[in-house]
């Protein structure tokens, strides 16, 4: 590998880690993408990143596509390249971003799955007759009430919760902080958990055995077990509760911007997928109920 190619990648990954404070998993994704890019540049015999042309990058994308890389992964690869070359342009190492104008295969947009209100009620209404149930009720209520990501809920501490105002400070992707509301039922469940655990302000709200931090896999395992015990036979996972929260809020309020703020989406286009979900539901109701839409038996 040409030294100048590799050193530029190392500097960029250092910038993402230190200045942008990206998570380890996100850094790994960027590193894997740029490793593919460097290997391609080496095969082409390039000495500097300014020598790479858009057509050469497009040929790599086509090669990865033929190799079976999914459209979503190709999109992430291309996004990583664009961001990398923007970084180089800022430092004057390239004049033109070769990734601009390069197109990846269109990603079919899947509508998120959700639980309806009855299914959510069945999932959440389990007796809190032991310490683990008290903990899990608080965990599930908070996931659904505030639309949290699983990585967010395992990192919140009691000092982040304002029970008087019913608000929670959350640190999300890119270390961005947002304030989200906490519903009445979730506050009741959290009050019961704090009385039980006697947690201090600096303690994590969710903890596993022996007071150890609860992992994201621990959240998934507990949620799956509760769903099974409650007779909810759909595949239930933490992000499903986030999707359900967003869909139910949008269905009731129609306020897309408010849902965007709650979820911490940087781009409102990400939030708009829930409007498509709402229209899909409306279409199903229409087909089932409208006299001129019903299929003849």
What residues are annotated to the active site?
149, 173, 239, 242, 265, 274
Which residue bears the tokens 């006299």?
Answer: 291
CB atoms within 10 A of CB 213: 12
Write out the two tokens for 58. Answer: 């497009």
Contact (Cβ atoms closer than 8 angstroms) between residue 85 and residue 102: no
Rounded CA separation 194/95 (Å): 57
Dihedral, 18, 22, 24, 27 alpha carbons, nearest 10: -90
Rounded CA separation 74/106 (Å): 10
The SS3 of residue 231 is coil
Rounded CA separation 98/93 (Å): 13
Rounded CA separation 227/233 (Å): 7
String of DSSP letters for 64-98: HHHTT--HHHHHHHHHHHHHHHHHHHHTTS-SS-T
CA distances from 214 to 50, 140, 205, 218, 251 (A): 46, 14, 9, 6, 32
Rounded CA separation 149/169 (Å): 13
Type and span of the H or E element at 26 = helix 24-44
What does DSSP say about strands 167-171 and 177-181: parallel, antiparallel, or unpaired? Answer: antiparallel
């Amino acid at each position: 590998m040409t030294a100048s190619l590799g050193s530029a990648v190392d500097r960029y990954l250092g910038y993402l880690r230190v200045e942008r404070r990206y998570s380890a998993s996100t850094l790994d994704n960027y590193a894997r993408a740029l490793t593919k890019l460097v290997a391609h540049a080496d095969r082409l015999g390039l000495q500097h990143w300014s020598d790479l042309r858009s057509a050469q990058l497009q040929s790599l994308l086509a090669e990865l596509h033929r190799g079976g890389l999914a459209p979503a992964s190709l999109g992430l690869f291309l996004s990583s390249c664009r961001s990398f070359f923007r970084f180089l342009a800022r430092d004057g190492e390239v004049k033109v971003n070769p990734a601009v104008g390069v197109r990846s295969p269109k990603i079919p947009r899947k509508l998120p799955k959700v639980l309806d209100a009855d299914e959510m009620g069945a999932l959440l209404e389990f007796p809190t007759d032991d310490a683990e149930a008290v903990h899990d009720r608080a965990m599930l209520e908070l996931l659904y009430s505030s639309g949290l990501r699983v990585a967010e809920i395992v990192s919140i501490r009691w000092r982040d919760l304002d029970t008087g105002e019913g608000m929670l400070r959350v640190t999300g992707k890119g270390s961005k902080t947002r304030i989200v509301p906490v519903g009445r039922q979730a506050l009741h469940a959290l009050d019961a958990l704090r009385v039980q655990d006697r947690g201090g302000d600096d303690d994590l709200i969710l903890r596993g055995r022996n007071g150890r931090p609860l992992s994201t896999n621990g959240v998934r395992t507990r949620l799956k077990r509760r769903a099974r015990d409650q007779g909810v036979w759909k595949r239930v996972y933490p992000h499903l509760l986030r999707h359900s929260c967003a869909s139910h809020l949008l269905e009731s309020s129609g306020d897309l911007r408010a849902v965007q703020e709650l979820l911490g989406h940087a781009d409102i286009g990400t939030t708009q997928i829930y409007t498509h979900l709402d229209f899909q539901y409306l279409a199903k109701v229409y087909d089932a109920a409208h006299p001129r839409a019903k299929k003849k038996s």
